[in-house]
Chain A
Amino acid sequence: MGRRRKYPLISLVLLTFILGLTLLSLWILFPKDYFRLPEATKLRDKEWDYMLHSLSYLSIEDVQQNYEKEKLLKDGHNENQRPEEDFIHCQMETCFNFNRCRDNFKVYVYSVESAVPTSPTYEKILNVITSSPYYTKDPGQACLFVLSIDTLDRDELSRDFVRNVPSRLQKAPFWNNGENHIIFNLYAGTWPLYNETELGFKVGKAILAKASMSVEHFRPNFDISLPLFHGTHVEKGEDLGLGVSNEFPSYKQHLISFKGKRYVYGIGSETRNSVYHLHNKKDVIMVTTCKHGKNWKEMKDDRCDTDNAEYEKYDYETLLLNSTFCLVPRGRRVGSFRFLEALKAGCIPVLVANGWILPFSEVIDWKAATIMGDERTLLQTLDVVRSISNLEIFTLRQQTQVIWNQYLASMEKIIYTTFEIIRDRVERHTWRDKNLWNSVPGALSFDLDYADDIKRFPFHHDGDVGLLPNFTAVIYVESGINGLKSSTLGSYSNSLLFRQVRNAAKSQYISKILIIWDSLRPIPKVWPDVKVPLTIKRSSSKSVSQRFVTSDEIETDAVLSLDEKELLSTDEMDFAYSVWRSFPDRIVGYSTRSHYWDEKKNVWRYSSKRTNDYSMVLASGAMYHVYYNHLYWTQTPTQAQQLVESLHSCEDILLNIIVSRITRKPPIKLTSHKMDQSAKKVSGDEDIFQQRQNCLNELLEIYGSVPFKRSSVRLDPVLFRDPVSNLRKKYRQLEL
């Protein structure tokens, strides 16, 4: 019996022991502060107490005293001329002459010395500049100067290397230490160090627009980092990106790829030598070759042969198009061609080039279009890339296309972007912000001189928010010059014109009627009695372009361009306005034309046939944004304007080109009950028609690309020809 009692006792002892142990472990596990949270909050009141009683870090006296000192420094600083060698610290304030850019932003190009060889690439660049709206022949008017000496390739070993640049610079009449000059360069330095400062001449105060710039030598807000482009880069027009930007979901066959040279030793070899670690032959393709240069065999290392074998298995272009991400490691220089190639293909660049100042990074937000890697953590790249979500990939890829198409798709775009960046610096107080640069249609489409309110432009309207109400009708009267023989002049009646005026005046959205009188006919003394302001303006010069009246005389955003040949009903005008508010960036109109390529004759055909699609809207009955009139006068190449003047025709084709180049969308056709008549009328006049076709071809030649987009859709009122009572329809006259 006694033994029986013992056991419970022992178990009791054991139990207490275990309990003690648990408590002990709890005590060790959780520090005592853990249980003191309430007390801590109590303490906080006290903290605040003494914190409030402590003094501010900055006393007013500090500010005042310091200010006097700084003021002295600042004022004195301006008077001291910097020593000449100090150009490495150039800023716009210290090295740029703003007075030259006071009135307008023009670029002067030195005349080319025939003796000096110029590379085809530099020739193209000069050609782009001389045919651009920036160009001026008068050095006195110029804000920027561009050398005719080819400075693109400063690698001594290169074919295009120009010698004796310093002495040539001395001869440049406006050089003045490079003030207001811009120097284009793609390569500097040579084997083996590829030193980016090794240009072979002193840049001085000139703005260096150079590819592969690194943070060590870049003069922020002064130099411009260029993208490295091939000599085969399209000169004008655009070479649109291949990434179908709206693709979703966004994964492609390979997650990330790289195919390129590997340098066995020397500068820039580290990253490329270690990418093979990432290669898994499936979704990660990283293949390199050492097979480049003359004596690669002497230099080759153990891996070269296996690498080369793997390298041959993949095609570069195919990889670009089928990879979600593309590794862009530095080469011998920090920048590489691969960057642009990947962007164009819609392959999101993963940058592994420490210290590289990305192209145009002053305005382009590359964070939104690329992934920034780091040479030091290359092997973690996969980790990072795999963690990026589907949606992020979607937006990144779209942004690669936005940036490529707007700023990089041709040499012209690259050069214009360079100039516009400098222009934004010169007119620093203006409004082109980063959002504008990094969204569609991009800063190049926003002319600084037009307005400082973004809502005055045809873009960024979020539907129709911010558009000014109503439209201005501009009626262009020209018959008697070209369309009609002078014998019929006297008998020409104004009745059609008056009907047009009356119809326009009846519109509920009309704000003003403007008549541009470009005819030998006398201006009628009596006009229809309308309640809308009516202005008659005699054309100052005999020019068809006069019909494109700028915003100086038009207070609305919408312009309705009319002539007296083609009568529009009030409902047609109202409906055009209603549709235009949904598409303020496009031309919305009734008569359309299309273009097609004639393979036999190798020309573009201009067609008024009844086809199932269209690409242009004629100016007789077109609603569009008055900003495009501004662009017509300020941004068109002089050649194009001269062409229109000399032919006295095809001004509307030019307008369509201007709009299509910006929007890359087709215009919008609306219903017209008289669609067929207008087509007949024009096609009846063979001469004019042929002339317009020639004009079309010449204009496309000048612009270097075909910007037109085709549409097979027209827009009708919702109840158009529906079997309902006409009384229920808002735009009845369209069905007459």
Chain B
Amino acid sequence: MACSRPQWILRQFFRIFLLILLLLLLILFFLVLDPLGLGWRRTPHLQPTKILYPSSYLRPLTQTPERYISTNDSKERKICESESCFSFDISKCGRLKEGRLSIYIYPLERVFVDGKLVQESLSREFYHLLQSLLESPYIVADPAQACLFLPPFDLLNLTPLLAQDSQVSLTQLQRALESLDYWGDDGANHILFSMFPRSHALRTLSSSAILIASSFSTTRVPLHVPFLTFSPYGLTKDSDSPIRRDILCLSAEGGEREELFPEDVLVLSYCRDNSRARCKENIIYPYPAVLAMAEFCIVRDLSQPILWDAMAAGCIPVIIPGSYRLPFDDVIDWTRIGILLYEHQLPEISAILRSVSEKRKERLQSQLKFIFERYFQSIPNLISTALEILREKVFPHSAVSIYQWNHNPNNNDRVSPLVEARISPKNPGFTALILAYERISSLFSLLELLSKVPSLAKILVVWNNEKVPPPVTGWPIVSKPLKVVRTKRNWMSNRFFPYTEIETQAVFALDDDILMLTKDEIEFGFQTWREFPDRLVGFPSRTHVWDNFTGRWKYESEWTNDVSMVLTGAAFYHKYWHYAYFEEMPFAIRRAVDEQMNCEDIAMNFLIANRTGKGPIKVGPRKKFKCPSCSKNEMLSADTSHMRERTDCINDFRRIYGHLPLRPVEFRADPVLFRLDPLPSRLLKFKDIGSL
């Protein structure tokens, strides 16, 4: 029997099976063995950290493996205590562009050097430190990918080690460090965290490790990070104490000699058997609660936890750093949160503090609160701040400015994005940006008018209509470059798209029916913008008024004595605002504008006022802009619904920003010599301004 049909089918099935099998095997081969070295399996950030460090990583030390080493088999080590021996291998840190730190944490273990256990337990703070590191994005499981290494030893407090009756000596600790797999000769790329007592001892452990340590004296190694001595009270939060700061200045470090200070400084010392208190003569003050009763707290010794305690209590620290660096001083501006003094100023301390104005105290206090909560409050805060500073030092090109580090966004200290808003140069003029819809004849006469304005550099027509614009031959011939851009959809926000075709700083936004402006008016408008380049400078103006009847803000187009908005149907502004409209403005506003097909100009007024804190500038006397030929009745009905919508916009935008950023002003801009003045017209530079 030759191949029957079903048999043939089965055979085909079999072949297909075999093929699939082969394919599967092939895929498996590539997946598991990865012969091409694609490294697809090593994508740590795609996997949850829990896998990298099994949840069992953090555990009591008694449950960790033991390791025995001896100081005798210590390798010959070049002794180098000088800071010039510091070395750091930046090539381990990946591509600069990405600017990502990667940290490997050695597994916890119990190391016995010469039979003695190097550390018997880990402190609570060290567990917190590990915990926050494990949860940070920096951590990697593979030491080969790590830029930085964290030894598994708790060095936060070296006092026990340094004590004379200590079982373990520094040399033994050093030996334990040296026995780490990636320590190398000198611990390059390793980080050591320490908070107490001072960093001297740490420096003898290694000359190349990066120290994140408190009370740092000046160093020539830029990578070290001055750290803070965290307070043991930090983890047991006191109940909120009442804020009545009756004491001007308090020294609660304890052990201070009273005669160092002027009389009106309250100097407290340690109590005999109560560690949670400070004493003066027989009065006992609860500590750290007493700090919340003072306006200023003296911090004479940065290795004391008092700095943290004072900051936590909202007491402005009066710091005498001596030769020590302040915590995180690379980025934190301590002048804004404390008073810095020299030792020799101690006798005049109360005179100095009394001369601090109330306003400055307020500012110090609010900045102190902000900085403390953001960078110092808890161990995770401290660790992430320290690591971010370290990251900026390893990848300095990605560092943010000190302003950004210290800027409290809730403060009303706005800085205009156009920092040097001085007179803009006359050249290369401005770009007229016309939002065109359908009114072709008026558009064409507008083009002809514009082309006569001397400072016009270019005309850009944004064809905001699904219909095709007239053919090239149909456009009028003008003496200035003209470009037409078609938009995909008729969105109001298209007007503010950051078109690359705009090459000048100044943009003159226009509606296609604005034919009432004269050449002189436009030129003068540009001149005015040049003198106020960060503002919105335009012709038709509006204002907002409080409506007592409805209890909300109302859009007002009547003749009033002030101006808080100018319409972008005819307004000059800086091109930057195009960018800001799309990138910085709350998206909800842009969406509302595009949905309602209205209020794009109100949105722009809000945006600029909110970023600069400045009002707009209206140019020239009042002019009739609205549809001169329309009949009165038509306008009225269209107007009322239009006005209602715009009133809604103001109230909606106010809600989105959380406040009303508009700034009303009572002035408008006119030429120095003005047509309405009793002057011969030959003197005027801008003659044709102000006709209705």
Co-complex (A, B): yes
Would A428 and B340 count as touching, CB distance under 8 A? yes
A138 at the interface (CB under 8 A from B): no
Interface residues on B, range: 35 or more
Stretch in A313-321, A510-518, A531-539, A706-714 touching the partner: A706-714
Give min CB distance, B214 to chain A, whole Å.
Answer: 11
A-B CB contacts (within 8 Å), total count:
376
In the complex, per-residue mask of A3-17: 1 if CB is within 8 Å of any chain B CB, else 0: 110010011001001
Distance A433 CA – B336 CA, assembled complex (angstroms): 6
Interface code A697-736, partner B: CB below 8 Å = 1, 0 otherwise? 0000000000001011111111111111000111100000
Q: Does A118 contact B (CB under 8 A)?
A: no
**CB contact list, B40-85 vs A, under 8 A:** 47-48, 50-51, 54-56, 58-60, 84
A526 CB within 8 Å of chain B: no
Q: Is A25 an interface residue (CB 8 A)?
A: yes
Contact of A18 among B7, B21, B414, B424 (CB under 8 A): B21
A70 on interface, CB distance cutoff 8 Å: yes
Nearest-CB residue, chain B, relative to A70:
B301
Query: Cβ of B654 < 8 Å from any Cβ of A?
Result: no
The docked-state distance in angstroms from the alpha carbon of A728 to that of B412 is 34
Which residue of chain A has its CB nearest to the CB of B232?
A: A56
Min C-beta distance of A616 to chain B, whole Å = 13
Residue numbers in B under 8 Å from A127 (CB-CB): none
In Å, the complex CA distance between A10 and B355 comes to: 96
Query: Across the interface, do B421 and A246 meet the contact criterion of CB distance under 8 Å?
Result: yes
**Complex: A579 Cα to B125 Cα, angstroms:** 57
- In the complex, how many angstroms separate the beta carbon of B303 from the nearest chain A beta carbon? 7
**Bound Cα distance A60, B287 (Å):** 12
Say yes or no: A246 contacts B124, CB within 8 Å: no
- Flag B551-580 by CB within 8 Å of A: 1 or 0 each: 000000001111100000000001110010
Asked if A248 contacts B576 (CB within 8 A), the reply is yes
How long is the Cα–Cα vector from A34 to B50 in the complex, in angstroms? Answer: 8
CB <8 Å contact, B235 and A64: no
Residue in B125, B232, B397, B413 whose CB lies within 8 Å of A462:
B413
Does chain A have a CB within 8 A of B343? yes
Contact with A along B240-263 (1 / 0, CB 8 A): 000000000000011110000000
- Which residues of B351-401 have CB atoms within 8 Å of chain A's CB atoms? 352, 355-357, 359-360, 363, 392, 396-397, 399-401
- Is the CB of B409 closer than 8 A to any CB of chain A? no
Whether A465 is near chain B, meaning CB under 8 Å from some CB there, is yes
Q: Across the interface, which residues of A come within 8 angstroms of B124, CB to CB?
A: 51-52, 54-57
> Could you tell me if A377 and B96 are in contact, using CB atoms closer than 8 angstroms?
yes
The answer to whether A58 touches B419 (Cβ under 8 A) is no
A-side interface size class: 35 or more
Please tell me if B613 contacts chain A, counting CB pairs below 8 Å.
yes
Q: Is the CB of A720 within 8 A of B670?
A: yes
* Residue A157 is within 8 A (CB to CB) of chain B in the complex: no
The answer to whether A11 touches B342, judged by C-beta atoms less than 8 angstroms apart, is: no
Indicate if the CB atoms of B303 and A70 lie closer than 8 Å: yes
- Shortest A467–chain B CB gap in Å is 12
B478 is an interface residue with CB less than 8 A from chain A: no
Chain A residues with Cβ below 8 Å from B423 are 665-666, 709
Residues from chain B with a CB closer than 8 A to the CB of A465 are 412, 613
* B345 proximal to A (CB < 8 A): yes
B10 near A7 (CB under 8 angstroms)? yes
Q: Does A365 have its Cβ within 8 Å of any Cβ on chain B?
A: yes
Contacts of A65 in B (CB 8 A): 159
Q: Which residues on A sit within 8 Å (CB–CB) of B91?
A: 376
Instruction: Give min CB distance, A93 to chain B, whole Å.
Output: 6
B235, A29: Cβ atoms under 8 Å? no
A460 to B159, CA, bound (A): 48
CB distance from B639 to the nearest CB of A (A): 19
**B 117-141 binary contact with A (CB < 8 Å = 1; else 0):** 0000111111110010000000000
Provide the A633-669 mask, 1 if CB < 8 A to any CB of B, else 0. Answer: 0000000000000000000000000000000111001
Per the bound structure, the CA–CA distance linking A37 and B356 in Å amounts to 56
Chain B residues 403-443 with CB under 8 Å of chain A are 403, 406-407, 412-415, 417-425
Q: Is there contact, CB below 8 Å, between A374 and B90?
A: yes
Shortest Cβ gap from A434 to chain B (Å): 5
- Give the contacting residue for B424; candidates A221, A246, A368, A394; CB below 8 A: A246
* Cβ of A86 under 8 Å from chain B: no
Flag whether A247 is at the interface (Cβ < 8 A). yes
Is B515 in the interface zone, CB < 8 Å from A?
no
Residues 399 to 418 of chain A near chain B (Cβ within 8 Å) = 399, 401-402, 405
Residue of B nearest to A49 (CB): B60
Q: Which residues of A contact B96 (CB under 8 A)?
A: 374, 377, 380, 383-384
Q: Is the CB of A63 within 8 A of B356?
A: no
Given A429-B345, A613-B672, does the pair A7, B14 have CB atoms closer than 8 Å?
Answer: yes
The answer to whether A678 has its CB under 8 Å from any CB of chain B is no
Whether A720 and B668, one on each chain, are in contact in the complex, defined by CB atoms closer than 8 angstroms, is: yes
In the complex, the answer to whether A54 meets B666 with C-beta atoms within 8 Å is: no
Question: Complex Cα distance A215/B270, Å?
Answer: 41
With beta carbons under 8 angstroms apart, the residue of A37, A51, A368, A391 that contacts B402 is: A368
Contact B533 A246 (CB under 8 A): yes
How far is the CB of A476 from the nearest CB of chain B, in Å? Answer: 26
Contact, CB under 8 Å: A62 / B159: yes
Per the bound structure, the CA–CA distance linking A115 and B217 in Å amounts to: 45
Inter-chain contacts of A383 with B (CB < 8 A): 95-97
One digit per residue, 1 when the CB lies within 8 angstroms of any chain A CB and 0 when it does not, for chain B 269-306 equals 01000011000000000000000000000000101110
Among B455-463, B483-491, B598-606, B676-684, the stretch that binds chain A is B676-684
Which residue of chain A has its CB nearest to the CB of B362? Answer: A453
Question: Would you give the 0/1 interface string for A578-597, flagging 1 where the beta carbon is closer than 8 Å to chain B?
Answer: 11001000000000100000
B170 at the interface (CB under 8 A from A): no
- Does B667 reach chain A (CB closer than 8 Å)? yes
Could you say which residues of chain A place their CB within 8 Å of the CB of B579?
Answer: 248-249, 390-391
Q: Is B197 an interface residue (CB 8 A)?
A: yes
Q: Is the CB of B220 within 8 A of A216?
A: yes
- Are B421's CB and A712's CB within 8 A? no
What's the nearest-Cβ distance from chain A to residue B419, in Å?
5
For A57, give its contact among B154, B527, B541, B686 (CB under 8 Å).
B154
A63 to B308, CA, bound (A): 14
> Would you call A335 an interface residue if the criterion is a C-beta within 8 Å of the partner chain's C-beta atoms?
no
How long is the Cα–Cα vector from A219 to B392 in the complex, in angstroms? 23
**With the chains together, A613 CA to B672 CA distance in Å?**
6
Q: Which of A585-613 contact B (CB under 8 A)?
A: 592, 610-613
B174 interface residue per 8 A CB criterion: no
Q: Which of the segments B24-32, B179-187, B467-475, B585-593 contacts the partner chain?
A: B24-32
Give A666 to B532 CA distance when docked, in angstroms.
11
Residues of B within 8 A of A582 (CB): 614-615, 663, 665, 667
B500-526 contact mask (Cβ, 8 Å, vs A): 1 or 0: 100001000000000000000000100
Determine whether B20 belongs to the interface, using a CB cutoff of 8 Å to chain A: yes
Most chain B CB inside 10 Å of its own CB: which residue of A22, A54, A376: A54
Complex CA gap A455/B48 in Å reads 49
- Shortest beta-carbon distance from A58 to chain B in Å: 5
Q: How far is the CB of B396 from chain A (nearest CB, A)?
A: 3
Q: Specify which chain B residues have a CB less than 8 angstroms from the CB of A247 in the assembled complex.
A: 505
Tell me if A523 counts as interface (CB < 8 A to partner B). Answer: no
On whether the beta carbons of A18 and B671 are closer than 8 Å, the reply is: no
Name which of B256, B396, B414 has the most chain A CB atoms within 10 A of its CB: B396
Q: Which residues of B contact A390 (CB under 8 A)?
A: 579
- A367 is an interface residue with CB less than 8 A from chain B: yes
18 further A-B contacts with Cβ under 8 Å, apart from A55-B121, A58-B123, A58-B232, are: A7-B13, A58-B230, A93-B322, A216-B220, A244-B425, A245-B420, A367-B402, A377-B96, A391-B579, A395-B419, A434-B403, A435-B407, A462-B412, A611-B672, A612-B683, A714-B671, A719-B622, A728-B561
In the A-B complex, the 9 residue pairs with the closest CB atoms: A372-B396, A57-B123, A368-B401, A40-B55, A60-B275, A612-B685, A463-B613, A453-B359, A715-B667
**Contact sample, A vs B, 18 pairs, CB 8 Å cutoff:** A10-B14, A29-B31, A47-B55, A56-B235, A57-B156, A64-B255, A65-B159, A248-B579, A365-B403, A367-B401, A391-B583, A433-B333, A435-B407, A578-B666, A610-B673, A664-B422, A713-B669, A713-B670
